[in-house]
Structure 1
Amino acid sequence: MSDSKRPITKDPEPVVQALAGTLTPPVLHPRNKNKRQKTQAPPPPVPDRPRQCHFLLPSKRKYCSLQCKIGNKFCGEHSMFETVDPVNETEAQEGQTAESKQLRERIPCPFDPSHTAWADDLRAHLFKCNARPKDAPAQFKLDANLTLPAPEKASTTSSANEAYKGGSEVLSTLSDEELMALIKKIQDLHAKYVPEIKTMILDHPALDERKKVTKNIKHAHQQASLIGHMERLKMLDDKTTCFVEFGAGRGELSNYLKVAVDDHGTHTFVLVDRTPPRNKFDSALLGLEEIKSLVKRHTMDIKDLDLSQVPEIRQDVTATQREIPKNEAVAEEITEGQAAESAKDQEYVAKKPVVAVSKHLCGGATDITLKCLANYQDSERKHSQLYSPVKGILIALCCHQLCHHYMYPNQEYLKEIGISAKEFVYLTRMSSWGVCVNQTKQAERTESRPATPSDTQEASTNSSNSTGAGDDEHEVLADKELDELSAHIPTLDFQGREKLGLQCKRLLDIGRVRYLKENGFDAELVYYVDKETSLENLALMAVPSSLSL
């Protein structure tokens, strides 16, 4: 039986010709054209409709239907293809033509290089460009909630900066002995500083309807337990409360808080997030009643948020009076000779009690939120009659691998336990082991037998149902670098890695608890749902020390 395969040529001459660029292409025999190999039709004639854009859409084989300015061939969307300056009526009367005009040049916009502008008309474009930076709001204060200077602003020789720049490769620089010494240190610190954490899974009727209609019910269980804990800690009693949701996302937790407190325009909801998401709950928060609830979304970084300057927290800003009232009498009394501090005292307005909430606030965002609340409390205690302007804090913790040393609020705690800036990076990197349990179990099973298509499908399902399968949770993939580091260390099996990752998380969380206690709060850590519902199942809860947890 003859071999039907083509013989493999060993002649190096074609290779040499190809590298030299002198290889002659083979002659291809023409084939009969089928329906999919139609000859490309010629372009359609130039549009005769007045002021129609002359840009040919390649995929549709027709011209753009938008209108152009008088004298232009292209619309505003395709104006970058305009090669000449349009001729106005005065120039036409003088005998000038479009061909005699100087060609125009388009350059990237300085505000946003994703679009362009005419070089000779740049000043007018910058004035009306939508990407033009807006004036900073009153509550913006650059880096107000950072504990240490950001790495890019710090000295390049500082140890914190070097550790931060290490990134994901810092663990690979450790030898086996150094890694084992670090693991032993973490285990000893956990045994000394981390107490036993209780589990308390609660429920709230505000989520009953959602549980009946939703398929992915785990988020409903988490929100119901969080709101149940808020009710247990008496955070829902005061009808004048301002609920501030940090890292709000769509604002879903605030939406069910509105249901839980049966709000009719008396409560205030402030949502803080860096980017405005789609499918927001802001309209649902407003309500359908004649008097809408006071709802305000602030799109900014928490690190720059001065909570004392947020207008909606003032007592004189309500659902019926949504703007800051102007006090002309006070403005007349303040003269140029008065000190700025006395002017601030005269302008002070009492604030509403604040309850800070968040569901799965990522790593460093939790740290700068705690710093933000502590700064707000310090500034308000000079004027406020309340024991504490912050009535409660409830944050479901998440993504410790995204923590940063310069953001961590309790630097004294790190010094006490002997964790340096570089070791802090190691600690955060290893914390991801605690939430890779689904993938590590899959790896254990596939070690004993060959993988099957069902295993691959199940692994994908487990990964999507872990800590990242939701609108406000974040997936943590198994780290290949950490796998390589632990493969040759017998004590780091999958169960050991998971346990060590959780110990790293709890060490960071205890420092946050101690920070709140130092600032006048009774704080605790509680497992508010089981691990089957969410691997990130720990919440940080705090109320002023005058109240009992």
Structure 2
Amino acid sequence: MVPAQGRRFCGEHAAQEEENGKKRIPCPLDSKHTVYEDLLQKHLRKCNSREKPKPLYFAEDINAGLKEATELPEEKVSVSALSKEELEDLIRKLKKASNGIKSILKDQTCSHHALQEALSDPRNGDAAFKHLKQQASILGNMERLNLLGTKRCFVEFGAGRGKLSHWVDIALQDAKDVHFLLVERATTRYKVDGKHRKNSFERLQVDIQHLCLNKVPVLVKEKLPTVGIGKHVCGSATDLALRCLVETYANFCEDDRRESPSAKRRKSDGTSAALDNSSDTCSKSVAENQSPVAGIVIALCCHHRCDWRYYVGREFFTALGLGATEFNYFKRITSWATCGMRDSSPQTSRIETESDEQGSEAEEHDPPDKHMECTSDSLQGLLTTEERKRIGQLCKLLIDHGRIEYLQQRGYDAVLQYYTDPSVSLENVLLTAVPHQSSLPHSTS
């Protein structure tokens, strides 16, 4: 860095310089930069590290679930630290808990005409082609479930650059009354939603854990059924998204429907109770005895990033005699299914995994972190490569089945299926859910 004119030090080392007796001190909001002591109050009012005002739809921990007082804190457990007997006992528990769960998922690899031109464009490289195939299949499954149509609000969780909403918008063509909410906690570069004008695109920069959908202005105003979508919603973000839709939002809308003036009995004098036009809550679909959540389509990934505190299938695990300890081991073993446990160096395995699953869009998928046992060294001689892969897949299936049970208990027809080939992505499982006996209209896309 170059010192400013008349200065001895650059901005990085300005704290060592005193001008006319003025002293520089670290900023109390962010110690990485300094400020003149006598100008501190002025600086605090405009410092980029100051706390920003919370948006209307921010409600702290609203989707975090109930935190039990007796809950044990998550520990950094290592599968490689287990003895042979302990590992065998853990695998026995896994297989016993998985009895009765359908381990072979149906192949629902689909496509959609909206992406045909992009899929046939030779200018797209292999990485882009893999992402396009996944997006095409997600759209195809949405069309199969009659979720592509008019009068919808699509909520994309973990939106990143907004590519999935981009293709949904193209698939809908000139559909009316369509809105998109792109939920992403991080600031994102090269967003594609800014290119769309005919439909409403709005970004919600908030962690899903704190997102209160029934306070989002567009849902308050337009009162449209919502469709939750996501491509590679990592780990516990999936659990937070499910709770956001089927608990926080749907339950609020149901409560409002029961309490709305139109649902009240007529007054004793025969006149109807006055309607409260200021009611600010859920969609018209609730008034029509439809679910405010029209459907959910989420491509799952990164089970090693799940968290017992937020997991929606805790009741399912508890019923099987499992708890936080087993869950924390199982989530780490899920990496065996995607890292391949190849007979190669850790660096090679990591590169192959990222190449297979991430492509050029690193925002959409996180590789297993350093705590995951993705090499065969620590387990040499105990399990074969294929056995480890199968056990990893079984752990993923058990965790995902807890999510299915959670949705089914709340009135949804929820299913797991393969939506793309493993050569396209090793994270190739799609979770779909629609309300029981859904009266959604057929697609008009």
| Alignment partners' CA distance in 2, 1:531 and 1:429 | 20
Task: Give the corresponding residue for 1:364.
Answer: 236
Structure 1 residue 174, shift from structure 2 partner: 2.7
The Cα offsets for residues 122-153 of structure 1, whole Å up to 9 and x where unpaired, read as 1111112122111211111111111243xxxx
1:417 partner amino acid = L
Matched, 1:352 2:287: no
| Alignment partners' CA distance in 1, 2:379 and 2:351 | 26
**Aligned Cα RMSD in Å?**
2.7
Structure 1 pair 173/442, CA: closer, same or farther in 2 (3 Å)? closer
Matched, 1:522 2:413: yes
1:191 partner amino acid = N
| Alignment partners' CA distance in 1, 2:439 and 2:422 | 28
Structure 1 residue 410, shift from structure 2 partner: 2.4
Task: Give the corresponding residue for 1:468.
Answer: 358
Structure 1 pair 487/77, CA: closer, same or farther in 2 (3 Å)? closer
1:306 partner amino acid = C
Task: Give the corresponding residue for 1:493.
Answer: 384
State which of 119, 138, 145 in structure 1 corresponds to 2:37.
119
| Alignment partners' CA distance in 1, 2:369 and 2:10 | 47
Between structure 1 and structure 2, the one with the greater Rg is: 1
| Alignment partners' CA distance in 2, 1:142 and 1:132 | 18
Structure 1 pair 232/537, CA: closer, same or farther in 2 (3 Å)? same
Q: Conserved in 1, the CA contact under 8 Å of 2:181 and 2:203?
A: yes
Matched, 1:385 2:287: yes
State which of 213, 221, 239 in structure 2 corresponds to 1:307.
213
Structure 1 residue 190, shift from structure 2 partner: 1.8
SS at match of 1:315: helix
State which of 376, 385, 405 in structure 2 corresponds to 1:483.
376
List aligned pairs for 1:115-264, cutoff 5 A.
115-149=33-67, 158=70, 160-161=72-73, 164=74, 166-167=75-76, 169-211=77-119, 212=121, 213-216=123-126, 217-237=129-149, 239-263=150-174
State which of 356, 376, 383 in structure 1 corresponds to 2:249.
376
Q: Conserved in 2, the CA contact under 8 Å of 1:361 and 1:397?
A: yes
SS at match of 1:423: helix
Instruction: Note the residue ranges of structure 1 that are not aligned, 5 or more in a row.
Output: 1-55, 58-62, 86-102, 317-350, 447-455
SS at match of 2:154: strand
| Alignment partners' CA distance in 2, 1:463 and 1:366 | 21
Task: Give the corresponding residue for 2:178.
Answer: 267
Q: Conserved in 1, the CA contact under 8 Å of 2:63 and 2:209?
A: yes
| Alignment partners' CA distance in 1, 2:396 and 2:307 | 13
Structure 1 pair 242/135, CA: closer, same or farther in 2 (3 Å)? same
SS at match of 2:331: helix
Structure 1 pair 308/274, CA: closer, same or farther in 2 (3 Å)? same
Q: Percent identity?
A: 37
> Paired residues, what number?
402
Q: Conserved in 2, the CA contact under 8 Å of 1:194 and 1:510?
A: no
Structure 1 pair 231/363, CA: closer, same or farther in 2 (3 Å)? same
TM-score by length of 2: 0.83
Q: Conserved in 2, the CA contact under 8 Å of 1:467 and 1:476?
A: no
TM-score by length of 1: 0.68
| Alignment partners' CA distance in 2, 1:262 and 1:123 | 52
Structure 1 pair 308/506, CA: closer, same or farther in 2 (3 Å)? same
